[in-house]
Amino acid sequence: MKPPQFEYAAPASLSEALALLTASDGEAKPLAGGQSLMPVLAFRLASPSLLVDLRHIPGLDRIEVGADGVRLGAKVRWRDIERDTRLATALPPLAEAIGHVAHYQIRNRGTVGGSLAHADPAAELPGIAVACDAMIEIASSRGTRKVAAADFFEGALTTVLASDELITAIAFPAWPAGRVSAFEELARRHGDFAMAGTAVWFDVDRLGHASNTHIGVIGASDRPRRLHAAEAVLNGKPADATSIAAAARAAAQAVDPADDLHASAAYRRNLIEVLVERALTRASKQADSAVKGSH
Amino acid sequence: MKVSFKVNGKPVATEVEPRTTLSLCLRDNLRLTGTHVGCEHGVCGACTVIVDGDAVRSCLTLAVQMEGCDVVTVEGLSDEAALSPLQAAFRRHNALQCGFCTPGMLTTAHALLSEEPNASVERIREVLSGNLCRCTGYLPIVEAVLDARAAYGGPAYQPADAGHGASHASAGAAR
Pairing relation of β-strands A50-53 and A28-31? parallel
Cα(A255)–Cα(A253) distance, rounded to whole angstroms? 6
Residue of A nearest to B59 (CA): A38
Q: What percent of chain A shows pLDDT beyond 70?
A: 98
Other beta carbons within 10 Å of A14: 17
pLDDT band at A190 (very low <50, low <70, confident <90, very high): confident
> Which H or E element spans position B2?
strand B2-7
Is the pLDDT at A46 greater than 90? The verdict is yes
**Residue A207, helix vs strand vs coil:** coil
**Residue A149, helix vs strand vs coil:** helix
- Compare CB distances from B55 to A38, A43, A105 and report the shortest one's residue: A105
Q: What is the pLDDT of residue A206?
A: 86
The 10s digit of each residue's pLDDT in A109-130 is 999 999 999 999 999 999 999 9
CB-based contact A206:A295 (threshold 8 Å):
no
Question: Cβ contact (<8 Å) for B57 and A106?
Answer: yes
Phi, psi (5° rounding) for residue B116?
-135, 75
Nearest to A170 by CA among A142, A146, A141: A146
pLDDT average, residue stretch A145-170: 97
User: CA separation (Å) from A39 to A63, A101, B60, B171?
Assistant: 27, 16, 7, 38
Phi, psi (5° rounding) for residue A75?
-95, 5
Q: Which residues are CB-neighbours of A45 under 8 A, at least 6 positions away?
A: none
The 10s digit of each residue's pLDDT in A4-36 is 999 999 999 999 999 999 999 999 999 999 999
Q: What is the pLDDT of residue B164?
A: 47
Nearest to A166 by CA among A73, A228, A91: A73
Question: Cβ contact (<8 Å) for A5 and B129?
Answer: no
The 10s digit of each residue's pLDDT in A72-107 is 999 999 999 999 999 999 999 999 999 999 999 999
What stretches of chain A adopt beta strand conformation (E)?
7-9, 28-31, 50-53, 63-66, 69-73, 135-140, 143-148, 153-155, 158-159, 166-172, 180-186, 196-204, 210-218, 225-226
A277 to chain B nearest CA, in Å?
26
Mean pLDDT of chain A: 95
Is the pLDDT at A182 greater than 90? The verdict is yes
A103 touching B (Cβ < 8 Å): yes
ipTM given for this complex: 0.91
Q: What is the pLDDT of residue A101?
A: 93
Is the pLDDT at A288 greater than 90? The verdict is no
CA angle A115–A117–A119, rounded 5-degree value: 70
CB-based contact A117:A161 (threshold 8 Å):
yes
- Compare CB distances from A8 to B59, B64, B127 and report the shortest one's residue: B64
Other beta carbons within 10 Å of A294: 7
A109 to chain B nearest CA, in Å?
7
The 10s digit of each residue's pLDDT in A192-206 is 889 999 999 999 988
- Compare CB distances from B41 to A5, A39, A104 and report the shortest one's residue: A39
Scan residues 35-94 of B and list those with Cβ closer than 8 Å to A.
40-42, 45, 48, 54-57, 59-62, 64-65, 67
Alpha carbon A225 to chain centroid distance?
A: 10
pLDDT average, residue stretch A245-272: 94
Whole-prediction pTM value?
0.93
Question: Cβ contact (<8 Å) for B65 and A105?
Answer: no
Cα(B151)–Cα(A162) distance, rounded to whole angstroms? 51
CB-based contact A184:A217 (threshold 8 Å):
no
- Residues of A with Cβ-Cβ distance to B65 under 8 angstroms: 10, 31, 34, 53, 55
Is the pLDDT at A1 greater than 80? The verdict is no
Cα(A275)–Cα(A281) distance, rounded to whole angstroms? 10
pLDDT average, residue stretch A217-237: 97
A40 touching B (Cβ < 8 Å): no
Q: What is the pLDDT of residue A290?
A: 67
Q: What is the mean pLDDT of each run of 10 residues along chain B (175 residues)?
A: 97 98 98 97 96 98 98 94 96 97 98 98 95 96 98 94 45 39
CA angle A287–A277–A175, rounded 5-degree value: 40
**Residue A46, helix vs strand vs coil:** coil
Q: What percent of chain A shows pLDDT beyond 90?
A: 90
- Compare CB distances from B19 to A3, A105, A191 and report the shortest one's residue: A3
Question: Cβ contact (<8 Å) for A7 and B18?
Answer: yes
CA angle B84–B89–B92, rounded 5-degree value: 125
Residue of A nearest to B124 (CA): A104
Pairing relation of β-strands A225-226 and A210-218? antiparallel
